[in-house]
Chains A and B, each alone.
Chain A
Amino acid sequence: SQKIEQNSEALNIQEGKTATLTCNYTNYSPAYLQWYRQDPGRGPVFLLLIRENEKEKRKERLKVTFDTTLKQSLFHITASQPADSATYLCALSLGNTGKLIFGQGTTLQVKP
């Protein structure tokens, strides 16, 4: 069956450290993988997109990797801050279908 999984347990880290979140999928061949941030009671906000032929993408303190052989994406936040505390969602896009398939999200808590 098709699945997309993120760590369901919350990730707690100390301010200044690097947070690494994992997204694994099975039985999909995504064209793109996207990461979103969601704060409580709010809609998801787009952060980064990486294509199937890209290995790594960076934006400021954020870095995403995409390994289509392992069927895995890693999302890194360097020099983390308490303001980075939120739920992070990965989403697969199978092409320009308009349909995103989301993981369940990982909650990140950055402690000062």
Chain B
Amino acid sequence: ETGVTQSPTHLIKTRGQQVTLRCSSQSGHNTVSWYQQALGQGPQFIFQYYREEENGRGNFPPRFSGLQFPNYSSELNVNALELDDSALYLCASSNRLAASTDTQYFGPGTRLTVL
């Protein structure tokens, strides 16, 4: 088990609503990445936060936004939810200064269902 925690575990929303997902990174890690994983697919990179700023973004619309706090925890916000946003949302932490690779330590994920 990694030290990355996510909340909530499961969430049900309706189309058009907004959602906030939370992540606490592993101790000693300063970087948080968010991924979306649809059923039967691999994780898709949404964005990464380092030093409280977005540091790289995947092919996701602006209604996907995030924050990183001084304690390195992070939030993922999704506005105007669509049915296709139903997925497992994974948070991953790493130490950008210590590592020369992109090995990610994942949390257990938040299962979001949009009805």
Nearest chain-A residue to B108 (Cβ)?
A43
Chain A residues positioned under 8 Å from B94 (CB to CB):
98
Question: Are A105 and B101 also in contact (CB < 8 A) when A44-B90, A98-B96 are?
Answer: no
Out of B42, B44, B45, B100, name the residue touching A105 (CB < 8 Å): B42
Interface string of A38-82 (1 = CB under 8 A from B): 000111111001000000000000000000000000000000000
* Distance (whole angstroms) from the CB of A72 to the closest CB of chain B: 17
The answer for the CA separation of A105 and B40 in the assembled complex, in Å, is: 8
Total count of chain B residues near the partner, CB < 8 A: 32
A43 interface neighbour in B48, B58, B96, B109, Cβ under 8 Å: B109
Interface residues as binary, B41-85 with A (CB distance below 8 Å gives 1, 0 otherwise): 111110010100001101000000000000000000000000000
Residue of A whose beta carbon sits closest to that of B58:
A99
Chain B residues whose CB sits within 8 angstroms of the CB of A101 once the complex forms: 45
Q: Which residue of A lies closest to B43 (CB)?
A: A102
Is there contact, CB below 8 Å, between B102 and A93? Answer: yes
Q: Whole-angstrom distance from the CB of B65 to the nearest CB of chain A? A: 17
Taking CB atoms, residues of chain A closer than 8 Å to B35 are: 100, 102
Contact A100/B104 with A44-B43, A44-B90, A105-B42 known, Cβ cut-off 8 Å: yes
The contact sample of 14 A-B pairs, CB cut-off 8 A, is A43-B4, A43-B106, A44-B90, A45-B2, A89-B43, A96-B100, A97-B102, A98-B33, A98-B102, A99-B58, A99-B102, A100-B102, A102-B44, A104-B42
* B residues in contact (CB < 8 Å) with A: 2, 4, 31, 33, 35, 40-45, 48, 50, 55-56, 58, 90, 92, 94, 96, 99-109, 111
